[in-house]
Chains A and B, each alone.
Chain A
Amino acid sequence: MKRDKSTILENQMLADGIYKMTLETPECAFTAPGQFAMLEVPEKFLRRPISVSSYDSDRYVLIYKVVGDGTKKLSRMEPGEKISSLTGLGNGYDVDTIPDGCTLIGGGIGIPPMLGLAKSLVIAGKKCRVILGFNTANEVFLVDEFKNFTDDITVMTADGSYGQKGFVTDAFDTLDYACACGPLKMLQALDGKVRKGQFSLEARMGCGFGACMGCSIQTKVGSQRVCKEGPVFDKEVLLWETL
């Protein structure tokens, strides 16, 4: 974890309610895709957790959805403004244990961390297939960026207005290994069709670094903090009935 004043380089709308913020910082603390940052938002007491989409040594990209007053304020910040940020939080995807040819599945605002993961897999010399799910065409974002890392991209929309009609689970029968991030309902639906994998969870957080116990979930290996032991978990340890 590092705290810094990051400089906003861009903060632009990608699709309906979806924004991309690129930040510059002297030293970036991210070490794995799937990690997140806690951003201080003007006039808000608690920071907001946003997963990192991609990062390198001195800049990082956060793609977020406007869901409330905090993220609305975030979306109105301008390039050049500085923002207090805790970076490098949580346990991300463990690229080493992901097999070659793994499928990455992202739903809605769960898609951005998959881009960083796709990049990391390519760097590690592993191929991947990508399945992206959206509600409708005007919410589609980031599809082209995935083309830098794989040719095998399937886009699903619930209303069929873009790509194929259906949910991400309609894009395959069963999978041996998948990495996923998206709404809880999507992850739970995937659970029955995926043998093994790493799933990223969302939670309402207090601190984001393991101190407040605000986001503790019950798992097969005991209580785990989404912000500290997670947000990415081996799917085998999750107890769906408690989530």
Chain B
Amino acid sequence: MGNPVDMSIELAGVRLQNPVMPASGTFGYGQEYKDVFDLNKLGALVTKSITKEPRYGNELPRIAECTSGMLNSIGLQNPGLEHFREVDLPELRKIYRGPIVANISGFSVDEYREVAAKVDREEQVEILEINISCPNVDHGGSAFGSNPKLSEEITRAVRDVTKKPIFMKLTPNVLDITEIAKACESGGADGISLINNFKAMRIDLKTRKTITSKTYAGLSGPAIRPIAMRMVNEVYHACKLPIIGIGGISCADDVLEMIMAGATGIEIGSANLVDPWTCQKTIDALPKRMKELGIRNLEEIRGVV
């Protein structure tokens, strides 16, 4: 004891000072958080999903609440690839020097390939996270990520155009997540991010309509954390790729539990929306908690179950 703990990790060759990243879609392109805390404390920063063209997203309301969580049906609102390259990325660089994970979505294999090829040219992006799991769009999204063949095809298409590490972000709305993870592994992925939101719904008793304008929306938050842990653990045992564990994490204990389930890095999502200081608080609390639990480095607890 008395020795400092090491909370750094390595994600497919990229060194992170700690395992904590904000989940795509809960952190914009960093600007909303720049006055909240020093973003350079993050392990890495995952951007909001980028598509080829700008998207407004779904009609309002896009948000509902439930016990221990929330539903969203944003629908991949984003300013589009060109705006991302010309404005959002350079602006992010002004306030953040650490590794950037660019999250990419598409509506066809070609679109994934095209966007990935262009993002590949951006020196500042160190990792590509490929979203094949958005539950809130009618075409593409989780339709890709629930089909092993398509998942492999998209992985391969992205692999063809970039040497940067690619993490495929998977949907939990499948019978067997290991099948999808293995398909991505065969397609040449460097890692797996999981899980995205669960397809869910809430109904307003008075109007007899769903609370979100889109009938089904994505459930996230503490409610899904134990399921996310189980799925991370399944994928950990089924393939060799490093995993970014996502789902309901909101404190240092949740981080350590997810790593014990098999994750290398972790992403914090909904919790940022409730308390924008969550990532910072989690990173600050991690060394103390590791010390208390006798953990010297995160490697020694990874996948202990």
**Which A residues have a C-beta under 8 Å from some C-beta of B?**
1, 3, 40, 44-47, 70, 84, 86, 203-207, 209-218, 223, 228
Contacts and interface: CB of A to CB of B under 8 A. Distances in A.
Which secondary structure dominates chain A's binding surface? loop
B63 A45 contact: no
B77 A46 contact: no
A228 B32 contact: yes
Given A203-B60, A210-B28, A211-B32, A45 B72 contact: no
Contacts of B221: 45
Interface of B: 25-28, 31-33, 35-36, 48, 56-57, 60-70, 72, 74, 77, 211, 221-222, 270, 272-277
Nearest to A48: B65
Given A204-B60, A216-B77, A45 B275 contact: no
Contacts of A206: 62-63, 70, 72, 273
16 contacts: A44-B65, A45-B66, A45-B222, A45-B270, A46-B273, A86-B276, A204-B60, A204-B211, A206-B72, A207-B273, A207-B276, A209-B32, A211-B272, A213-B28, A213-B62, A213-B77
A45 B26 CA distance: 15
A86 B69 CA distance: 19
Contacts of B31: 210
B28 A214 contact: no
A3 B275 contact: yes
A214 B69 CA distance: 15
A214 B36 contact: no
A238 to B, nearest CB: 14
Given A1-B36, A204-B63, A216 B57 contact: yes
B101 to A, nearest CB: 17
Given A3-B275, A207-B272, A214-B62, 9 more contacts: A45-B221, A203-B60, A203-B61, A206-B70, A214-B74, A215-B60, A216-B57, A223-B77, A228-B32
